[in-house]
Chain A
């Protein structure tokens, strides 16, 4: 079919950065190994040659220093894209993100805004064990002053960056590490920018709503496929934006299906799934025909061994079982 190209998620991220840098000279990329190395996940491979060292800026291993510098550069009129290798490493720059980026606008009485975009890889599934595999999106989604997005599809990876760069407030983009090699279709020609205000309905059904985001979307769609063979049809909602949540679309779907399952790679305790469950209880309690189910990561640091890692994470079977439970099947 003409008008569509098949590319990987990694290509989509790279194309999006390339396009942004071509369109807006204020945009630059900064982070560990984004230049000569080409990015830890090869997202910026080739960009150094095209844009030079000023705009594809390798940094020392100073997460707080360069993330803070990105925040400062945004205050100073630039549109930086800061790449943090993984969400686990971002704990070293939490101070800058939470105490500076998220607060400055409000704390200054609206005088300053911080149009920085911070991209980071998240999630497990590659046997990287307990310091490279966690899903801490919810930590950021907890914080007023930030917008948090999680592109789950190649199309969204291609389109969300430009939308995020237009936002005058700080945006954190979470890219699930298992997605980088995934292929998907994008329009051959732009504009590619996508709406990041609304959750996307990835599949429609009437029996249950499955709400998910990021790296869990593909598992959820597979579970929905399996359930379809049992004549269970599901609405699959891809949140896309984790803060602010599209509560309206969540509640509308639950009002239609009367059952909700939330799939979230974060740990269950204190999870985004817990927040969504609470919103459903507050806004759609009398629409529910069954308790809300949550499919989350087991309460353990992510183990190295493959079978143990898989056992810790949400699975297709686990998602399908949770949906059946809401239907008492």
Chain B
């Protein structure tokens, strides 16, 4: 990590918030993995463990009124955006109190209140939609940024290229955040892309881009603040390539045959918390006891979320067809 970060307000309070969010995401997901084993959570479960610095750092630079479009690996983004852990956990359970009423599950967390348009589970499928949200804002004169997360696997999809071109062509306020964790499911980047510098795609669409250390939450925040200020100044879209790593399997069905354990261990040494904790202690921003306190708060929040999800009722089966279409009485 660096000594200073441009535009990042390095107060103890801010450091504590970053630490709290990263630890919350980590412990929340560790609990999710456990609950998956206990068959409380089913379907696909894609853990973000190892990548927390990205969602947490990016969200710091966004305003509550900005739009978020995320992927199926979006628990961290939802929590960092402020969706209540209880509602996210209830969604994992499939309960009616979940953030998407239990219709979406782990891959489709949504919250209109947080302008969190959802986890999209078709790789690159969220990008054109993010372009459209930004187009609406531009046409309506709204000073809003649409932040669109995706993995590096998306760069192989046509929709990625179509969306980047449209956003650049129309100078739309989109922040594209590529979380490059090196693997599209089990396919390594160098086995799927002729050019592994993903941000160079953005440059080919005349879009400004930069590469960020996605294991350093402050570097992510710094880069995002710079990008967002350019977007808000009307300079059009911006592309961040965050180099990061997924410590856990792609999903709960993945035997991880495609990568060496040593590679994972090497990246774990650079884990976002492994780096941030000693750095904040060394800089006297936080103390070891602050971290103990955060762990205590987070443990309480995760336990509350599980209790909430356990106690929450199921949606009645009679509601199965509800909200397929807008009900007649809701139409003007």
Contact = CB atoms under 8 A, between A and B. Distances in A.
Interface of A: 28, 54, 59-60, 62, 64-78, 80, 95-96, 99-100, 104-113, 144-145, 147, 166-169
B71 interface: no
Interface string B97-120: 011111110001011100001101
Contacts of B131: 65, 68-69, 72
A109 B323 contact: yes
A76 B128 contact: no
Contact of A65 (B104, B112, B163): B163
Contacts of B316: none
A66 B100 CA distance: 27
A99 B135 CA distance: 20
A169 B326 contact: yes
B284 interface: no
A113 B158 CA distance: 25
Choose among A59, A74, A109 the residue with the greatest number of B CB atoms under 10 Å from its CB. Answer: A109
A107 B325 contact: no
28 contacts: A28-B139, A60-B162, A65-B131, A65-B159, A65-B165, A68-B131, A68-B159, A69-B132, A69-B135, A72-B130, A72-B131, A74-B132, A75-B132, A75-B136, A76-B132, A77-B140, A78-B139, A100-B122, A105-B324, A106-B323, A106-B324, A108-B103, A108-B108, A108-B118, A109-B98, A109-B323, A110-B322, A168-B330
B215 to A, nearest CB: 31
Contact of B326 (A62, A68, A80, A105): A105
B129 interface: yes
Contacts of A68: 125, 127-129, 131-132, 159, 163
B180 interface: no
Given A28-B139, A65-B163, 10 more contacts: A65-B159, A66-B128, A68-B128, A73-B139, A76-B137, A108-B104, A108-B108, A112-B110, A112-B112, A166-B331
A107 B130 contact: no
Choose among B104, B110, B133, B325 the residue with the greatest number of A CB atoms under 10 Å from its CB. Answer: B325
A76 B65 CA distance: 12
A168 B136 contact: no
A176 B144 CA distance: 40
B133 A109 contact: no
Interface string B292-332: 00000000000000000000000000000011111000111
A109 B159 contact: no
A72 B102 CA distance: 23
A220 B98 CA distance: 51
Contacts of B12: none
A56 B110 CA distance: 31
Given A100-B120, A105-B325, A144-B324, A76 B67 contact: yes
Given A78-B136, A145-B324, A107 B128 contact: no
B125 A100 contact: yes
A64 B128 CA distance: 7
Interface string B165-177: 1100100000000
Contact of A71 (B129, B158, B159, B162): B129
A145 B324 CA distance: 5
Interface in B137-179: 137, 139-140, 158-159, 162-163, 165-166, 169
A110 B163 contact: no
B272 to A, nearest CB: 29
Interface string B74-115: 000000000000000000000000111111100010111000
A65 B162 contact: yes
A68 B160 CA distance: 11
B325 A95 contact: no
Contacts of B169: 60
A252 B163 CA distance: 48
Contacts of B323: 105-106, 109-110
A77 B331 CA distance: 15
B105 to A, nearest CB: 9
B129 A72 contact: yes
Contacts of B120: 100
Contacts of A144: 324-325
Contacts of A67: 128
